[in-house]
Amino acid sequence: MTDRTPDPDHPGEIAELRRKLAAAEAAAKASAESLAEVSHEIRTPMGAIISMADLLLDTRLDETQKTYAETLRRSATGLVSILSDILDNSKLEAGRLELNMAAFSPRDLMQDLKTTYAAACSESGLYLVVQADPAIPEQVRGDVARIRRVLSNIIDNAIKFTEEGSVIVTLSDGGEHDGKTVLEFCVRDTGIGMSAEAVGKLYSSYTQADPTISERFGGTGLGLSIARKLVRKMGGEIECESSPGRGTTFRVSIPLAPATDETARRSVDAPRPDVTRTKQDTGRIRILVVEDNRINQMLITTYLGKFGYDYDVAPNGEEALRAIDRTGYDLILMDIQMPGMDGMEATRRIRKLDGPAARLPIIALTANAMQGDRECYLAAGMDDYISKPIIAATLYGKIDAALAESAARDTGTG
């Protein structure tokens, strides 16, 4: 590569440079895509590590063992969030990032942040305040997981760089913008602060030139750069005010549409038939787990056992079809990627069976919850999906909802 401007008298040279530029762009895109794939591969075992730590923490441990297991869990969770940053960054670079918009409660998000950071703050002797203005809407539509990650990124650092004093997280109503409510999150700490020059460099990727910043936002060097890209992708903005020795304030404002009646209603407790009771007459609920990965098999069946369900395991689609032929199940948990017959094909075949088995509720288990995947799963005949890593509460909630829906459907059709 040279810094020379192309010579207009040699059009061949310009064409050559154009060709090189196109090749470089294609290479960048391909590398971003393979990075996205690798991140997915890493997330599956990371999810298993977190889940195993959860299971371990649920056993009898002495204080020392408990501390070890908690550190293991915290470190693994931290690593997953770094992976999410890398994955999102590669998707942004490839122009492939889609927001996962859904109804959520901003107040619940604040409560969740409070629960998450209460222990870390009290360990460091910091005063943590988390407050939401009562005027903010009950429900809005947004990518809550990404909003949470942006805020976590800022709060983690606020705690890390505050020796004494407080970390205050507030949420207020920032007014209307194009029919949307602007949510204003503010994270204020009484920590070491940063110079104006350091603040100016905060958002550049991989900035490690300034020791204050590399110390403060070390690691991948992606934290705030990706946070700002994500916030801007949501149509919002992130601002920082800081001075050395006086603390730092971050303001994140994001315009969010109100949740529609339909989505809002879904999250409110709707009257549901008591599935557990109706099932007690005919025996316990039996679930077929179709999953090839041994760790996931063990994890899911351990959870199912804890929830009080009976289960069988099939390692692929063929085995699943044979198992369904032999035994009556109430629900199927279906992995997507399996050797032999995969989850999509197995689901299509189950839906074509004769008799009641064709109507079994099927929940997909997937490592790639990309935009558009949901539609594919539903098109193949699945009722719902759970993305890995599998969280106990999500697994329970989805199974419960699917069983309730299928019970209601059966009652409805007689």
Distance CA 17, CA 34 (A): 26
Site of interaction with Mn ion (CB under 5 A): 292, 335, 337-338
**Closest approach of Mn ion to the CB of residue 294, in Å:** 10
3-state DSSP call for residue 313? Answer: strand
CB of 292 to Mn ion, least distance (A): 5
Q: How many helices (H) and strands (E) does the chain have?
A: 14, 12
**Whose Cβ is closer to Mn ion: residue 263's or residue 337's?**
337
What is the residue-wise DSSP string for 69-122?
A: HHHHHHHHHHHHHHHHHHHHHHHHHTT------EEE-HHHHHHHHHHHHHHHHH
d(CA 228, CA 238): 6
Measured CA distances, 331 to 43, 326, 345, 407 (Å): 26, 14, 17, 11
Nearer of residues 99 and 367 to Mn ion, judged by Cβ: 367
C-alpha to C-alpha distance for 178 and 105, rounded to whole angstroms: 20
**Least distance (Å) between residue 335 CB and Mn ion:** 4
Q: Which is nearer to Mn ion, 166 or 337 (CB)?
A: 337
Report in angstroms how near the CB of residue 40 gets to Mn ion at its nearest. 12
Task: Give me the sign of the Cα torsion angle 318, 320, 323, 327.
Answer: negative
* Least Å from the CB of residue 90 to Mn ion: 23
Q: Which is nearer to Mn ion, 44 or 204 (CB)?
A: 44
Min CB(393)–Mn ion separation in Å = 22
Kindly state the tokens that stand for 329: 């199940």
| Residues paired with 256 in a beta bridge | 181
Q: Is 181 within 8 Å of 137 (Cβ atoms)?
A: yes
Q: How far is the CB of 379 from Mn ion (least distance, A)?
A: 20
* DSSP classification of residue 372: T
- Give the type of residue at 324: I
Nearer to Mn ion, 72 or 367 (CB): 367
Is the Cβ–Cβ distance between 19 and 362 less than 8 Å? no
Nearer to Mn ion, 106 or 317 (CB): 317
- Judged by beta carbon, residue 56 or residue 295, the one nearer Mn ion is 295
Question: Which among 392, 325, 313, 316 has a CA at the least distance from the CA of 360?
Answer: 325
Residue (169 or 338) nearer to Mn ion, CB: 338
Shortest spacing between CB 338 and Mn ion, in angstroms: 5
